[in-house]
């Protein structure tokens, strides 16, 4: 799974195109592993950490990204009216994401992109404090994992693509701490601007311009480790209070 193709290919690998809603997570203090054996203290800690990582994801942000990808597909098929409807839905989800707890404010310079997934070569950094929403995620395994644990990571990522967040957290119980959770962040106002621009172009049947606006929107994404989001979220909340 790669984040480098910042358009349809990226979204297929990171966000998936179906069942993107993040379901309610199971009890963080679940006491058994996949085989029914009691969890050790360390395993319980790792389970809580995994659940905290998934809680960073924005359900509306994910849905907005799915709408954007649908719109690109509709534009490619000459279905501009469907593209406009998808973009209206994306705009509504972005409005909702702006009011949700997952949204936070930080300067892009403080986010420190994950080395596994550099930003697009067409990316332009945001200046000053920016409102961000987490719109997707991927589990990254270290090279030292044994084959069975690498397989579990692959399974968890497939579950994330399908929106099966609770199942992914359950799968990762056997992996332990040798993983990182990379989160895709979108600058809220900037992405909303590109979506609105694409909608206007699509309504005027300017298909190429609409598609370019969406590509430019996807190029604003930044990919960071989960702990970066945790720190930024805590800092943003502290400033608000």
Whole-number pLDDT of residue 216: 96
**Which structural domain range is residue 121 located in?**
8-18+25-240
Q: Is residue 1 a part of any domain in this protein?
A: no
Closest CA to 179 of 133, 146, 132: 146
Q: Can you tell me the distance from the alpha carbon of 80 to that of 91, in angstroms, rounded to the nearest whole number? A: 16
Q: Can you tell me the distance from the alpha carbon of 140 to that of 158, in angstroms, rounded to the nearest whole number? A: 13
Is residue 125 within 8 Å of residue 235, measured between CB atoms?
no
Residues in the chain where the model's pLDDT stays below 50: 1-34, 39, 41-51, 241
**CA 16 from centre of chain:** 10
Whole-number pLDDT of residue 37: 55
Q: Is residue 3 a part of any domain in this protein?
A: no
Whole-number pLDDT of residue 206: 97
Whole-number pLDDT of residue 16: 35
Closest CA to 67 of 231, 226, 218: 218
Whole-number pLDDT of residue 13: 37
* Signed CA dihedral, 184, 186, 119, 17: sign only: positive
Whole-number pLDDT of residue 43: 47
User: Three-state DSSP class for 128?
Assistant: coil
- Number of structural domains the chain divides into: 1
Phi, psi dihedral angles at 82 (to 5 degrees): -65, -35
Q: Where are the beta strands (DSSP E) in the chain?
A: 104-107, 129-141, 179-187, 222-225
Whole-number pLDDT of residue 157: 79
* Signed CA dihedral, 118, 159, 135, 212: sign only: positive
Whole-number pLDDT of residue 177: 63
User: Burial level of 158, CB count in 10 A (0-12/13-18/19+)?
Assistant: middle
């Amino acid at each position: 799974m790669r984040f480098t193709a910042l358009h349809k290919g990226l979204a297929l690998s990171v966000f998936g195109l179906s069942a993107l809603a993040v379901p309610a997570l199971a009890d963080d203090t679940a006491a058994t592993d996949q085989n029914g054996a009691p969890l050790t203290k360390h395993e319980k800690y790792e389970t809580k950490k995994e659940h905290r990582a998934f809680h960073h994801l924005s359900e509306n942000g994910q849905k907005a990204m799915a709408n954007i990808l649908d719109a690109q597909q509709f534009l490619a098929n000459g279905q501009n009216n469907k593209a406009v409807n998808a973009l209206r839905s994306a705009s509504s989800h972005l409005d909702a994401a702006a009011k949700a707890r997952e949204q936070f404010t930080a300067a892009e310079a403080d986010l420190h992109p994950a080395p596994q997934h550099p930003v697009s070569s067409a990316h332009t950094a945001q200046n000053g404090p920016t409102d961000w929403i987490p719109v997707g995620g991927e589990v990254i395994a270290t090279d030292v994992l044994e084959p069975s644990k690498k397989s579990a990571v692959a399974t968890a990522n497939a579950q994330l693509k399908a929106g099966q967040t609770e199942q992914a957290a359950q799968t990762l119980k056997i992996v332990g701490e040798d993983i990182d959770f990379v989160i895709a962040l979108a600058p809220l106002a900037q992405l909303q601007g590109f979506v609105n621009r694409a909608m206007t172009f699509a309504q005027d049947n300017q298909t190429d311009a609409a598609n370019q606006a969406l590509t430019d929107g996807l190029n604003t994404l930044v990919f960071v480790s989960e702990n970066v989001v945790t720190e930024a979220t805590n800092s943003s909340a502290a400033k608000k209070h």
